[in-house]
A and B are shown apart, each in its own frame.
Chain A
Amino acid sequence: MDEMRTDRRNVLTVTQLNTCIKTLIEGADFLRSVYIKGEISNFTNHYKTGHFYFTLKDEGSLLKAVMFRASASKLPFVPENGMKVVVHGRISAFVRDGQYQLYADDMEPDGIGSLYFAFEQLKKKLEAEGLFAESRKKPLPKIPTRIGIITSPTGAAIRDMINIIGRRFPYAKILLYPALVQGSDAPPQLIAGIQYFNAARNVDVVIIGRGGGSIEDLWAFNDEGLARCIAASDLPVISAVGHETDFTICDFVADRRAPTPSAAAELAVPETAELKRKINNIVGRMELLLGRQIEQRRQAVRYFSGARVLSAPAAMLDDRRMNLVYLSEKLDRAVQVKMNACRADLAQRAVKLDALNPLAIFGRGYSAAFAENGELLSRVDQLEIGQPITLRLSDGEAQANVTALTPLPKT
């Protein structure tokens, strides 16, 4: 290096220098595999290439970093800005930018395990989507007679479940869908099981699970695809993974979580003795209902048989007769009242009529004169001297001749 700096004729291009530095850095053995602790910032998940670009920083310094897709896709969690991590990788220089950086191949949240972090991340995500909501959970069938179990056919879990279901409710048929329960091949098989039962509809309830193990062993049950598949299941699903203290994403998304496979079996099926007791109680229930119906009929009979028409038909007739007498009397009275009213009305009208009778005024001294042809004479110009006229009086007629005509002066 000293030679390069002192030799003025030996001028380097930028590329040559950067390449030289890259070679120097890569020559340092200890930079080929380093663990670096820091906080992530400027995190970019390149959606096309799948590479992660980010900066690691602490209070005093920054370090550029990249994680290529091959490594990035293997991370169980997605890095976030602000996350404290320990990153493994090698240091090299990027000639084009003249920048040395960390080529990361693995990453772990600092302090907590990466699996735990991934679990929390997925849990938060699915919870935000509402996949754990109580309202989504389907009730378990009370008396399932066909139980679908998705688990390993060789594990202790299936043995426990068969024993418990056999002891409690041997009537229930068990359909075992064999699946790997750990490793990267497990989630697709578990998903296939859920999908199979939903398509075949040959069971009433599905139990999915496995026995206890390390967090890595149980990891298949934290698979996002499996969680979504369980959430989409039309059949009720009981999740039974590991021991009481183990919680998986499956547990949250299933309709019921059982702390262990054995507990799932107990949860799924009723106990035969208890079931028989309930069925036998139906006899009592039917007796009660039938008894009630008979009692209602009996009361109806009692009610009608208590009526007078049935208990004393003769008395019933007497009643009717009494009523008839009463009614006819009432009718007579009504007719009488009506007739009296008519009579009074008639008399009143006769008086009025009498006052208007023209003949009645003859009684008061008036008379009427008629010509021989019967014409009523009311004016003197109808008369001539010597004309015979007839006078009508109250009790007879008189013949007379006109002797004088004296018209009254006109007013």
Chain B
Amino acid sequence: MTENQTTQSFETALARLEEIVRALEVGQAPLDTSLSLFEEGISLVKLCNRRLDEAEQKIKLLQAAPDGSMTETDFGGPKA
């Protein structure tokens, strides 16, 4: 878990966090499992915060390639 936290996205971290809260809500896990879930949860919360803080807006313009597929190019916004 902790190894891939450097690459883990906000979405997967948040999904895992929800999973952890649900597991704790059920409360069937042995206590030491719950404790490690809790620890994992805390680090996921930190990770989510970090991802949100680091976020840089990405805007992509879709353009049709000659083969009909769509490619993404950076979009700087309309010329005002």
Residues of A within 8 A of B (CB): 143, 145, 153-156, 158-159, 162, 165-166, 169-178, 196, 200, 272, 275-276, 279-280, 282-283, 285-287, 289-290, 292-294, 296-297
Contacts and interface: CB of A to CB of B under 8 A. Distances in A.
B31 A174 contact: no
B25 interface: yes
- Name which of A153, A170, A289 has the most chain B CB atoms within 10 A of its CB: A289
Contact of B10 (A171, A283, A290): A171
Contacts of B14: 143, 279
B55 A170 contact: yes
A285 B60 CA distance: 37
Given A279-B49, A290-B34, A290-B35, A174 B58 contact: yes
B18 to A, nearest CB: 8
Main SS class of interface, A: helix
Contact of A159 (B25, B56, B78): B78
A330 B11 CA distance: 73
A65 to B, nearest CB: 45
A165 B17 contact: no
Contact of B77 (A158, A196, A290): A158
B31 A276 contact: no
Interface in B34-78: 34-35, 37-38, 41-42, 45, 48-49, 51-52, 55-63, 70, 72, 75, 77-78
A198 to B, nearest CB: 13
Contacts of B45: 279-280, 282-283
B78 A290 contact: no
26 contacts: A143-B11, A145-B10, A145-B11, A153-B61, A153-B75, A159-B78, A162-B57, A170-B57, A171-B10, A171-B52, A171-B55, A173-B58, A174-B58, A174-B59, A175-B60, A276-B48, A280-B45, A282-B17, A286-B21, A286-B24, A286-B37, A289-B24, A289-B25, A290-B24, A293-B31, A293-B34
Nearest to A173: B58
A173 B60 contact: yes
B64 to A, nearest CB: 9
Given A170-B55, A176-B62, A153 B78 contact: yes
Given A283-B42, A286-B42, A294-B31, A196 B62 contact: yes
A141 B10 CA distance: 15
A178 B78 CA distance: 11
Contacts of A286: 20-21, 24, 37-38, 41-42
Contact of B38 (A272, A275, A290, A297): A290
A294 B37 CA distance: 14
A282 B25 CA distance: 12
Given A154-B78, A279-B48, A176 B10 contact: no
A200 B70 contact: yes
B55 to A, nearest CB: 4
Contacts of B79: 154
B38 A162 contact: no
Contacts of A293: 24, 27, 31, 34
Contacts of B17: 279, 282
A196 B57 CA distance: 22
